Structure formats: C-alpha cells, structure tokens
Chains A and B, each alone.
Chain A
C-alpha cells in the first residue's frame, strides 16, 4: 500500500473492538482485535523544528511496509504525542528530532507514557543525535535511536522484530 493520502485500512478507533484499559499485554490485545491486525505507528515531530523530510519519508516507508501510520504534523508537545498515542492505540511511536532538543523532549514523553500506563509502546527516535547522548536516552526508555544514513528497511525490520516478539 502506498500513496500520498492517509488511507485507513483498519477500522477507526471508535469502530474497533479493543480493551478499554491500556496495559494488557499484546497477546491478549491482538486476540481480541483481529488476527491480521496491522502494526500501528505514530510518527511525531516534537518541538519547534519544522524540518519534516525525515518524518514524512519514514511515515511513507512504514506504510509501504504494511503498517498503519498516523503522522501528527508539526510542533507537538510531549503531552500531545502521549495523548495521540493513547487515542490511536499505537504499538510504536517514532519521534523525529533534529533540533538538539532530544534530551528535554524524550524523558518528558517517557514519563507521560508511564503515567498513562503505556509501558508497552515502543518509542524510537530518528534524527541528529550526538553519540554521547545515546546511553542516557536509552536509559530513559527509548528503544532505539536511528541516526542519519539509516535505511528505511532497517527501521521496518526493527519494528517487526520488536512488535511481534512483544
């Protein structure tokens, strides 16, 4: 599936049978939904930066790889991202950060996700991230950091591995 417009192939949130409460493990959730449930990914662009080339390319590549992708658009606060992730019932959040604000944004988002009980959501970061900052981001709960030059296939593979094994 590819194309420019956001096409939904799974039912909208309201139509979908799903557990009311978050925090059930993936196995239980996937049984209750449908066997061929697509991986749901929220691509988010936090902070004031407007450079959205990477976010858009990743959104499209994940969609082409068969995932359900929701793109938040620009200038999302951690609160907005956490709420969108909860509302859209996603398996993965992908953050695109190029502005150097990652050390502020990532811990805030992880804290909010924990508060909302969304500990099973995998959070990925892509962008311009100095190597020295990576250990602290991983410690804060970021599953992986993808640097410039990463192929989209690498990211697809990582998500498949982590979500199906969760």
Chain B
C-alpha cells in the first residue's frame, strides 16, 4: 500500500516507475479524506488540484531523469511553518485566517527538493504543549489505542498532528519543530522516528517563533534512514537567519547502516529518575543491551545539572515567548478585536486570540523578565543553561552518544495529566536538556508497553554530529525491528 511506505521505499518505487507521484499523492489525499475527521491531524489540507499539480511536476522530472532528493514524496507540514499562499495558523485563533505571502526557508528547501505538500498539520497553539490539546482547532487523536480500551489518547506535542499523520498513513513524513521535545516526545507517543537537529542546522526564517534560542525544525518519519534523507533536504545555511550554521550539510542518509562497532554510548545516571515506570526502565535496558550487541561500548556518565533542566527551560522558553508573541497585537495582520483605545485593542485581541496555555506562558515570561526578578530568574536560568551545556560537552569527551528514554511514559489519555500544568511539563523531562544544550537528539520507536503502546528511546549526540546519532539510531532500529501499526491506519480495514 502506498500510504505505508517509507520515504526511501517510495523514492525507489517512483524512480523505478512502479507507481507515479500522482498515484502516491492521490492515495494520501484519499487517506486524509477517510481519517482526518477522526484524527484531526491536519488543520488545512491543500486542494487536490494543487497537490496533484505538484505530483505531476515530480512525475515529469522522474520521466526526464532529473528527479530531486524528495521528488514526489507526499509530506505534511507542521502549521508553524509559513507557507506561501497557504493558511498558516500556529493552531491559534489569533492567526486563524493568516495567509503568509512568503515561504519559510525550511519548506522552501523541501519544495525545491521536489516534496509534495499535503497540508498543514495540527499542533499545540504556538507549539506550547506536550499533548496537542491546546490547539484552537481541536485536539489531535493518537491513532494508537490501548489494548481493550477505546480511550482517546493524546499524540504528544507540540508536533502531534505531524506525528499522528505519519503514524496513521496520512503522510509519508512530516516536518516538526522542537523547542523542548516537541518532535521527539510525539514521535515516541506515536511510534515513529523524530529528529531534532543541532540548533542552527535548519533555518528558523519563516517558522513562527516560540522560543528563539531553542526552536529547531526537524523531520518526523517512519524510519531512521528517512530522517536522514529528509534532514538533508531541510538543513543548510540561510543568510536570513543569523543563528543558522554555515557548516556543510553531509549526506545524512548515508550515515544509517554504518557500523557502530566501537562507538561509546553514555548512560547518564541522572536520567534514572525516581518513579520512572518499570516498563520504560526495562525498555532502556533493552536498548543498552542491543547497542552492546551491535558492538558499542556502554559507559556510565553523569550530567549533574540535569535536574535543573526543566525549571530552567520553563524560565527561558516563556521569557522568549512573551517577547516573540508581542507582535500579535491585531494591528498589521491576524485577528483584531476593535476597542475604543489602543490598549483596549491589545487587551481584547490578545485575550480572545490566545488560548489559556499561551496566556500562561506569556505571563510567566513577562514575570521572569520584570525589573527586580530578572536576575533571580532569567539571568540565573541562563547561567544554569551554560552549566547544562557544559555537562553535555564534558560527557561527549568520554562518549560518542548518549542513550536515554524519550519520555517518562507512553501516550496518556485525553483528560489525564491535565489538572496540573507541572505534571504536564514533566513530559519533557528527558528531552529538555538536549534542547537547552542545542545538541542533536532523536527518538526511535523500540517496542510496545504492556498495553500495546509504543515507547521510544532517545539518542543524543555532539553538536553537529547528527551522523553518529543516525548511525546509532539505525542500529537500534535494526535490533528492535519495530513494525507495529496503530489501530487507526490508512491501510487498516480498507
């Protein structure tokens, strides 16, 4: 079935003319038509006409023998990337009807590589959330179900729409963005691969900002090789983003399948959090055993400032968000609520335009930057961030990668964890430190828990060493042989 392929398989099938890009695109549009109402993975689906036109252009290039890296591959785009002429909402009411007159650098590269965009995937509002329940366009449903239990599960967040779409066969792959775990945690919850590259690897230009010093785009795919392929298409220096790196982009897909023999894998003691579910601990042990069998040397390491990661993150990210979101004032674009005074316009527009979680974070961020609190919160957090980064740099003097669980639990049900925001924030406990340090990290699905839900392990690498992360991820993937499909899937029951 065309909707069940990996990017790599589909690319080969297209090149061999086993099927056309048009057929591939049509199969995905059909799947979206059947399942999106239930999953709510897409906020906007691009018109059939436009999708098929892009597919036809790809077919023409295959026919003339000059197909590109991602030619004809149907992908979903997180609705945080501005797409020219296609509504871009950040899952917020305040941008409910915003149609950008420009294309983000990352999506421009994907288009240039021949990708066929299917639509804009749902997310937590402005990428703030870990369960995809803060979207103004409704929650996304995780296509997985617990065995014998029909509860609606969350797909994780914030890139939950992308994760659900890829898992359920509504896209071969999708873009995500990761600020504190927003690619990796939903990838783990939905049983797919999610790679957060090194900060600076992908341009942030044209991607709606949440926390500028942390935001990073990355691929969400069905295989590790796919993640390499898609990252290759997304990454690269962009003079329009002062924080983008001018390092050359390696052929990432070639890193997968390389022997990991002799690589040193660090196991950070501090990630053995008290209260970690038995099944997560077991899966982690299993991962360690697989890598040892593949020839890796396993080393215990320490990242002593890990315990401050979450607290620090929840100062720095809201601080940046409070400033980044100031531009949504109703004056130049987006939704405006009129009032008699300028302050009235601001108050009504922002109170009605932003959801509760976004408002919470703006308030937190405003507070920690305020006179009298700046030193105690923001400045202190920046100092701790430096220490967290140093932890990683020092650990990478001893080891090549780190292996940890991606999330402290499998997907939970809608309604669970929702009374207490701090409980919700704990979802990011294993993913946040790599974000704070800016190092690359990938979640790979390695197995199911006792209730049949996928679990992921996280591989963290050195700055700009995505290749080693991909190699180790490939080894883990091969050992785990994860081939499970969710309950809701384009191919199920057809």
Q: Do A and B belong to a common assembly?
A: no
Residues of B near any A CB (own CB < 8 A): none
